[in-house]
Amino acid sequence: MTTRDSCRQFREASRLTRRACLTIGGATALGLGLPELLRLQAAESNGSFGSAKSVIFVFLHGGHPQHETWDPKPNAPDGVRGEFGDIATKLSGFRISELLPSCARLADRMAIVRSMAHSNTNHVQACLPAMTGHEHPPSVRGRGDFPPTDSDFPHFGAVLDHLRPGDRHLPNWVQLGPVMTRSNRTVLHGQSAGFLGDRHSPFRVDQDLTAEKVRIEAIAPEITVQRLRDRRGLLAEIDSQRERLDVAAAKSRQVFYDRAFGMLTSAATHQAFDLAAEPTKVRERYGWNQVGQSCLLARRLVEAGLPFVNVHWCKTPSGSWDTHGQNFTKMKESLGPTLDTALSALIEDIEQRGMLNDVLIVPMAEFGRTPQINKNAGRDHWPFVYSLALAGAGLKRGCVEGASDRLGAYPASTPYEPADMAATIYHLLGVPHNTVLYDRENRPHKLIVGKKIESILT
């Protein structure tokens, strides 16, 4: 039976939407027959399963302090509480930091998890489970900083690109911002396609987005079709020399180049990336800074149908979320207002455009910050409890799950690991729980190892 026949029969039997049918068709192509798919659909059946058509994944590298964002502790001792108070939100009894007044107005559109937890305090390593749902093997967890490898587990965006190849003229996965690194230049793990290969790498945009008449350099119109063809030929020649050494890698790169060529010559791509076309009032609403404009560009991209967009919030003129010193000054003058403005604008804008049921917004970090304030008025790395606030497709609105203890140091209720959040994201994307990926050596890897957070799902 062909994939097309299986999909048609399944749709006739269950009257699925076209999107669900395409999802099942893709799974059939991966080797699952119709009976298995019918059983799988029954097992996965849930009002939220597959509700997210797109994801905007905002990574707050360094880790945001739970006390100054989603889980303030106004009754804690001075050395824990910090300098800021808490404010009421649209949800009765739910209070957040006074630094987030716009988000407080939108709490009834959000789902907040206050008991995220794991045990890895290293930025480089902790980013892997945050962006893939998978930890490193126990043998390397104590090694500190070391470079990522092409055998690492792939990023959410790469997995989606692998499972659901999209329109050749629009990328499936875009990263807005630089490749994230430590101060020692070690690349944070989890940002790449890992063992899926270069063909599933993201389309990267790393430039200043704050100019009034900004043009995206990665698709600049002055790069003519002929120049692109010349570049394509040169890359092909270079890779042909490598092919004898690594045939699989060379072929993977060629697929990536072919797709990139199609995207860069596409009118749809140029329109989706035309940030300067946005009205001035809209650009101001998001905040005329790199983070705000990245979130606005992400909205344009998902509106055009792109499945997965990363916003990398790392190095900015005002610093990063790694607030070992001057945490309160940075939170008051830059980090807090920027987050409040950009996130609230993104949620409101997507809702006003009728897309909040289709787009999942995930502000993510590798961990939180210590409850104890250090001698430099900062907070250090703390993975043992932290909070995440999500919004959009398939999530219960106005939902608060989990709690931390009175100091914001450890979970006071069920702890959720990054693998559980990954399972939740994949569930919302309609990826079956028993999906298996294969690496270059054709070894199987279970994609989802955590349990979805049922209480925040519709």
Span 311-358, pLDDT tens digits: 999 976 666 899 999 999 999 999 999 999 999 999 999 999 999 999
- At 45, the pLDDT band (50, 70, 90 cuts) reads low
End-to-end CA distance of the chain: 35
- Alpha helices, DSSP H only, in 278-434? 280-286, 290-303, 327-330, 336-352, 418-428
Percentage, residues of the chain above pLDDT 90: 73
pLDDT at 368 over 90: yes
CA-to-CA distance for 236 and 241, rounded, in angstroms? 9
- At 255, the pLDDT band (50, 70, 90 cuts) reads low
Give me 363's structure tokens: 């502000």
What per-residue confidence (pLDDT) applies to 312? 98
pTM: 0.85
Helix (H, G, I), strand (E, B) or coil at 79: helix
CA-to-CA distance for 270 and 264, rounded, in angstroms? 8
- At 27, the pLDDT band (50, 70, 90 cuts) reads very low
What per-residue confidence (pLDDT) applies to 39? 45
Q: Which residues of 422-435 are buried (b: 16+ CB within 10 A; e: fewer)?
A: bbbbbbbbbbbbeb
Q: Evaluate whether 96 touches 72 at the Cβ level (below 8 Å).
A: yes
The number of C-alpha atoms within 13 Å of 166 and in the hemisphere containing its C-beta is 23
CA-to-CA distance for 375 and 183, rounded, in angstroms? 21
pLDDT at 247 over 70: no
Is beta strand 86-88 parallel, antiparallel or unpaired with respect to 386-392?
unpaired
CA angle 56, 94, 92 (to 5 degrees): 115
CA-to-CA distance for 304 and 278, rounded, in angstroms? 14
What per-residue confidence (pLDDT) applies to 307? 96
* Superfamily of 50-196+276-456 according to CATH: Alkaline Phosphatase, subunit A (3.40.720.10)
What per-residue confidence (pLDDT) applies to 188? 97
What per-residue confidence (pLDDT) applies to 31? 44
Q: Evaluate whether 311 touches 295 at the Cβ level (below 8 Å).
A: yes
pLDDT in tens, 121-176: 999 999 999 999 999 988 887 788 999 999 999 999 999 999 998 766 788 999 99
pLDDT at 104 over 80: yes
What per-residue confidence (pLDDT) applies to 359? 99
pLDDT at 25 over 50: no
Is beta strand 399-401 parallel, antiparallel or unpaired with respect to 110-116?
parallel
Instruction: Using CA atoms of 408, 414, 419, 422 in order, give the dihedral in degrees to the nearest 10.
Output: -90
Average pLDDT in the chain: 87
Percentage, residues of the chain above pLDDT 70: 79
Helix (H, G, I), strand (E, B) or coil at 221: coil
